[in-house]
Chains A and B, each alone.
Chain A
Amino acid sequence: MQLHLSPEDQAFRDEMRTFFTTQISQSIRDDVAAHREVTKESYVEAQRILNAAGLAVPHWPAEWGGRDWTPLQRHIWREEMQLAAVPEPLAFNASMIGPVIAAFGNQEQKERFLPATANLDIWWCQGFSEPDAGSDLASLRTAAVRDGEDWVVNGQKTWTTLGQYADWIFCLVRTDPTAEKKQRGISLLVFPMDTPGVTLRPIELLDGGFEVNEVFFEDVRVPAENLIGEENRGWDYAKFLLGNERVGIARVGATKRMIADAKEHAAQISSGGRPLIEDPSMRTRITELENELLALELTALRVVSNSSDGKPNPASSVLKLRGSELQQAATELLVDIAGPLSLASFADDDATDVPEWARSTTPEYLNYRKVSIYGGSNEVQRTIIAGTILGL
């Protein structure tokens, strides 16, 4: 039992903090901090700077750019990145398909994809959910049929985040419709988004943004060499991928930043003749949120130190569940602080006196309803906890 960071970890934290706050351009970090839409160019610029410094994919195997860090150092890395409002390495690349290819791909695929994936030379998107396969992902119907040296893909994916920027898609497809268990007949294919037969339709969200898409496949021909791992083992890879996705999903640093912002704004808003931050119920509300966040952060630290074998710990479901709830609570707090100012949500800069932060609160609050749904909905996480941990 030891509270303090070791001198090495302290130095590591200082190094991360300095790097993130000096090497990533202020304008990009301002965009993230202000909850503005981050452009593709900004994502790419930030990730390439990180990658050049060995900070984009530290959790990958060392030969593909990974670092021999302790779980605590990885936590510090992520935490400092979020506190500094640095756009995180694209999750589809760094947390999802990269680790899967590194673990299950063949040597040729590793050489072809991993360096480009780490450097965001390839922008990946995720082809998992379908209109009739949400939480019940294994019931997916997009089919791939073998025809000579190709797979021919037909079907539809949805909720494909930032698909409009994507160069490639990693896609779960049904390759054995006769398999006894529906999980058995699924494979993982990767192919370029400009392959003939792929079309993309953006979906507008409540916040007015277009971050997710539907993707349609009509007789899309994918070379057989683009199968990752073994045929009909795709479900195993999907579980591996989603487990990895969950570890970083608590987003404690990002929520801390929102709470810090909330306090600053609450000091500027007048309520009942005094600054809102002086209102006792507001102070208690923020206090309770901070305490929940501290408990979550400490739990994240405990979980990472218990999963050094690289396997996702089932307790990571706690991080997903609680992390999403606290992100949502922080966005809700910000809307409540903005109060009536939050109605100016879609006003242009020159048509309003309402500050930008207040205008962004409700779109962000509405947008963040997604976090308890994606990455395995919170109900899926409760099912995992009840089944895997409590044996129910």
Chain B
Amino acid sequence: MDFTFDTEQHALREAVAGLLQRAYDPEKRRAVTKDDPGFDEKVWSQLAEMGVLGLPFAEEDGGMGAGHAEVALVATEVGRVLAPEPFVEAVVLAGGLVADVGTAEQRAELLGPLSEGSSLLVFAHAEPGNRWTPTATGVTATRSGDGWTLSGVKEPVPSGARADVLVVSAAVDGGTGLFVVRGDAAGLTRDGYRSHDGTRAARVTLDGTPAELLGEDATDRTAAVELALARATVAYAHEAVGAMETALTTTSEYLKTRKQFGVPLSRFQALTFRAADMYVSLELVRSIALWATMVVDAPDSTPEQVLAAADRARLQTSKAGRHIGKEAIQLHGGIGVTAEYSVGHYTSRLTAIDHLLGDGAWAADRLARTVDAHPYVEALPA
């Protein structure tokens, strides 16, 4: 077992950190997230030029052939400055599905442009009234000649209005299929809106919309969706760790500089002890996020192991994100609730991450089903 990153990985981190920290301070982020599409197209292109948008894809598909350790490094830097670019959404989740399920042709056609930054790909999966399920019921797929049409509503779809191409999950005979829908397809209506964390989401209405089947067969893709959601969950854990780290350092700085009763707040043990507890939460979740990434990257991990690792990461991320997010605001006082100051936005994003793919209680419930199948949890597999 080895938690350290190699030289190349450090270089990647430094390059991404440099780019994102130049691009975003709290003020610039506010300006960028004010207008659609809620992120900076230029930054997206720069990430593409760096190879970041193709990191996990095979080289023959137009990617960099890197692993999820590299994805984790990028996600952490995204979280550190709350970069609003949809890195996890597009690259890890939507791209990951295409890489897993798509034909060679589809992979080249969709992942190449995604990696180059010329085509934004997102996964339209959530349906109103369905809470964190890997299946689709509200959107149905019907065969139409050689192709397919989709009907129903997907919402909320992250960056759903801006996306150039959507991967859409839909009910097919015997399960959930995956389909590719072009942004300009007939019968596709997208109503975009702003989310509390500055990102954009959309209602995507499909009405006999022509779609291309992802992959060769119209078989049930629930397992592939679960796995892609699990990997995105692990990447989000790192994004959350980056955000928590900044929330804590911002809070520590504030305690040192803000004066009340004639002394800096850091003189009050009631406050410094709470900051210490935030540090404990941060280090614990960082450990489990790194471990989960190692499980994802290990060549012999089974899907069950990846899903369980993602749930473990999700459970810890949810707890730590709520703890650190809430305390960061409380230790700042009223300014923490204002939109003008940075720290509350970290709490807002952490809250969004917690609810995108399943929260801690949801993960705990899933893990609890097998709690008596092992005497204890092995951190170090043989």
Q: Which residues of A does B touch, CB under 8 Å?
A: 1-5, 9-10, 13, 72, 76, 256-257, 259-260, 263, 267, 277, 280, 283-284, 286-288, 290-299, 301-302, 305, 315, 318, 321-322, 379, 381-383, 385-387, 389-392
Contact = CB atoms under 8 A, between A and B. Distances in A.
B272 A1 contact: no
Nearest to B265: A392
B371 A260 contact: no
A284 B381 contact: no
Contacts of A390: 248, 252, 272, 275-276, 279
Contacts of A321: 280
Contacts of B312: 291, 294
B275 A386 contact: yes
Among A295, A305, A385, the most chain B Cβ lie within 10 Å of the Cβ of A295
Q: Is the interface of B mostly helix, strand, loop or mixed?
A: helix
Nearest to A302: B3
Contacts of B69: 1
- Of A259, A298, A385, most buried by chain B (CB within 10 Å of CB) is A298
Given A283-B369, A288-B364, A386-B276, 15 more contacts: A1-B293, A4-B1, A4-B380, A283-B368, A286-B371, A290-B367, A295-B316, A301-B1, A301-B3, A301-B287, A302-B3, A322-B284, A382-B272, A387-B272, A390-B276
Nearest to B248: A390
Interface stretch (B53-61, B104-112, B126-134, B294-302): B294-302
Nearest to B305: A3
Contacts of B334: none
CB-based closest 8 A-B pairs: A298-B287, A3-B294, A260-B375, A283-B368, A386-B272, A295-B284, A385-B276, A382-B276
Interface in B273-324: 273, 275-277, 279-280, 283-288, 290-291, 293-295, 297-298, 301, 312, 315-316
B275 A291 contact: no
Nearest to A390: B252
Contacts of A385: 276, 279-280
Given A318-B283, A390-B276, A390-B279, A291 B371 contact: no
Given A72-B1, A385-B276, A290 B285 contact: no
Contacts, number: 157
Contacts of A291: 288, 312, 315-316, 364, 367, 377
B379 A294 contact: yes
B4 interface: yes
Contacts of B315: 287-288, 291
A117 to B, nearest CB: 31
Interface-central residue, B2, B9, B290, B376, by most chain A CB under 10 Å: B376
